[in-house]
């Protein structure tokens, strides 16, 4: 089984729609892309407040995505198309229970290390009845070797 490993540039854009109040975030980073068989993995660091790092480990398979974050914040969030999943988001001020329903997973790999992942999902926090709509767009391409 062949495998691919490449250095990549990552742009992660998230939008949260909390009943009409929208919050946008964008992260740019560098990391690694691995392809082995039918599974793609992206690993990159995110710099948060006070220069604290969060390591992001994203696994992409047909119809399923897993995002594991460790460091200042931690979580292990699974996205399965048309399924409800649960996880706990831990941060320095406590923990939040998240119930996620994945509406859309769109993943296109343009070449060996260039692609885009789009997730559309809703989240309920700590059992509250109101859902927040989330969209995540992760674009990556091979880093120029200089």
Instruction: Give the Cα separation of 143 and 146 in Å (integer).
Output: 9
Question: DSSP secondary structure string, 78-145?
Answer: EEEBT-EEEEEEEETTEEEEEEEEEEEEEEEEEETTEEEEEEEEEEEETT-S--EEEEEEEEEEEPPP
pLDDT at position 2, please?
58
**Number of compact structural domains in the chain:** 1
What CATH number corresponds to the domain at position 91?
Answer: 2.40.128.20
pLDDT at position 145, please?
56
Q: Please list the rounded mean pLDDT of every run of 10 residues in the chain (146 residues).
A: 84 94 95 93 89 93 96 95 96 94 95 92 93 97 76
Question: DSSP secondary structure string, 24-83?
Answer: EEEEEEEEEEEEETTEEEEEEEEE-GGG-EEEEEEEEETTEEEEEEEESSBEEEEEEBT-
pLDDT at position 146, please?
44
pLDDT at position 111, please?
85
State the residue range of the domain holding 138.
3-142
Residue 20 per-residue DSSP state: T
pLDDT at position 99, please?
97
């Amino acid at each position: 089984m062949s495998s691919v490993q490449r250095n990549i540039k990552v742009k992660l854009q998230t939008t949260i729609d909390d009943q009409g109040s929208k919050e946008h975030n964008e992260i740019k980073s560098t990391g690694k892309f691995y392809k082995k068989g039918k599974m793609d993995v992206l690993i990159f660091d995110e710099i948060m407040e006070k220069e604290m790092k969060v390591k992001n480990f994203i696994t992409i398979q047909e119809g399923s995505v897993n995002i594991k974050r460790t460091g200042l914040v931690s979580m292990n969030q699974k996205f399965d198309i048309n399924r409800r999943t649960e996880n706990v988001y831990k941060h320095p001020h406590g923990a939040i229970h998240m119930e996620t329903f994945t509406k859309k997973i769109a993943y296109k790999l343009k070449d060996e290390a260039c692609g885009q992942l789009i997730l559309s999902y809703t989240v309920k926090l700590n059992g509250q009845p109101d859902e927040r709509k989330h969209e995540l767009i992760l674009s990556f391409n091979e880093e120029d070797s200089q």
